[in-house]
Amino acid sequence: MAALIDVILPVFLVIGFGYVAVWRGYFSDAGVDGLMKFTQNFAIPCLLFRAISTLDLGQNFDLALLFSFYTGALAGFAAGFFGARYIFGRDWEDSVAIGFCCLFSNSVLLGLPITERAYGAGALEANYAIIAIHSPFCYAVGITAMEIARNRGSRIAALPGKVLGAMFHNALILGVALGFVVNLGGIPLPGAFTDALDLMIRAALPAALFGLGGVLNRYRPEGDLRTIAFVVAVSLILHPAIVWGMARWTDLSDAALRSALLTSAMAPGINTYLFANMYGKARRVAASAVLIGTGASILTVWLWLAVLP
């Protein structure tokens, strides 16, 4: 119960404040759009840039950590894709979008604050190692699969260019990439610049959580409830269960296990809806899975915290 009150509820209360503020008309939809644009395109890329630029890559890029997490992520994508196609009879492109919902956990807006509240700011280094390749990896998988599905029977020579173009129009990926450039190049940053970054970073997660609540207010679970329930189950139960098993098999340290498991146990992120909307496929499933999964994760994250060492 202490974990629920001290760790999880403060994060979801901020989301709830945003939800209620928009629902009751105290904060406009246009304000939510502006807030999310600020966090997704500026504040969170600054956070990721700062974290990656100062991360000890040799110590924190543990192959066992990444193997455990991304094996679970790929298994979630496969479960979502084949389940959508062969259980629910969706077309190939819908199936890719639904698979992406099961692949892309909310590693930043939920994973970071919950891990920090549970284990302290020092526990986030493994989270950042996962996040450093999370968007590039997930978008590479999702865009590649979607372009193959859309171009069945035709030449796909332009596929690599399409994948790279879509990935590097994403501000989060640019923040991570620039962080690697500074880190690997040993480039010193002026104190005034890092102080400005730190000001942006302090606003990132609270503003993003509040904005997330406002975004979730727009979506109502309508139809496709069996498919949505399937996506939520894969995201909140299957993905972290596979990560747990792989982490035990690879003898992952307790600190890395906590970050990998909690990140994998997060609800589908807003990026899953953005991906579905980009292709005009399975948008209702994606939006409702984000909403219902975020609510359901209050309970499932509490249970995962209870089993973690």
Taking only the tens place, the pLDDT of each residue in 91-124 is: 999 999 999 999 999 888 788 888 888 888 888 8
Give residue 162's pLDDT.
66
Distance of alpha carbon 289 from alpha carbon 101, whole angstroms: 8
Return the minimum-mean-pLDDT range out of 75-79, 148-152, 171-175, 297-301. 148-152
Q: Check residue 186 and report its DSSP letter.
A: T
Domains annotated for the chain, with CATH where assigned, are 2-307 (1.20.1530.20)
Identity at 4, one-letter amino acid code: L
- Predicted TM-score (pTM) of the model is 0.79
**DSSP states of 276-295:** HHHHTSSHHHHHHHHHHHHH
Q: Say yes or no to pLDDT of 5 above 70.
A: no
Please answer whether residues 219 and 274 qualify as being in contact, where contact means their C-beta atoms are separated by less than 8 angstroms: no
pLDDT, tens only, 148-174: 887 765 555 666 666 666 666 677 778
> Which has more pLDDT, 104 or 5?
104
Cβ neighbours of residue 105 under 8 Å, at least 6 residues apart? Answer: 73, 111, 235, 239, 263, 264, 265, 266, 267, 268, 269
